[in-house]
Amino acid sequence: MKPPLIVDTCIFSYDFNQHTLAADYAKHLEQYECFLSFQSVAELYQGAMQKNWEERKKEKLKRAIAKKYTIIHSDDSIIAWFAFVKAVRQCQPIGVGDAWIAATALALGCPLLTHNAKDFENIPGLEVVTEYQKPLT
């Protein structure tokens, strides 16, 4: 059995859109049992609506989600973790969407795969996995 992994919206999008960065994250998607937070799914559907996708492409998105991912819906545990994330990041504000995604990973006790690791910095207990290397300064 593969260990669980929460996949951030950006990683799903790279894979779905065959972005050049998808190859960098493919090994993670193969090594783990992949989950999406309800928040990521909402963001994906919102993007499709804002871009006026035709029904065929929206159905392709739904099939891609169902094929590789289990959607984690909000529950009392995720709500409590969301409050924790927002509280610990009050001096370094975090977006509502990112807070829900981080809370989902914390509630499941599993890592979060993202290309935007900076968005999830300084959240105690959150393991962030990324292939993004910060440039040397």
| pTM of the shown model | 0.94
Count Cα atoms within 13 angstroms, Cβ side, for 128: 21
Contacts with 123 (C-beta within 8 Å, 6 or more apart), sequence order: 85, 88, 89, 94, 102, 106
Q: What does the radius of gyration of the chain's CA atoms come to, in whole angstroms?
A: 15
What kind and span of H or E run contains 18? none
| 111: in domain | yes
Residue 137 lies in a domain: no
Residue 135 is predicted with a pLDDT of 56
Let me know if residue 136 belongs to a domain: no
20-63 pLDDT per residue, tens: 999 999 999 999 999 999 999 999 999 999 999 999 999 999 99
The CATH number of whichever domain residue 27 belongs to comes to 3.40.50.1010
**pLDDT, tens digit (0-9, with 9 covering 90-100), for 99-124:** 999 999 999 999 999 999 999 999 99
For position 90, what pLDDT does the model report?
94
Is residue 14 very low, low, confident or very high in pLDDT (cuts 50, 70, 90)?
A: very high
Mean predicted confidence (pLDDT) in 95-101: 98
Residue ranges making up the domain that contains 8: 4-129
What's the rounded Cα separation, in Å, for the pair 26 and 70? 17
Give the whole-angstrom CA distance, residue 55 versus residue 76.
34
Residue 53 lies in a domain: yes
- Residue 15 inside a domain? The answer is yes
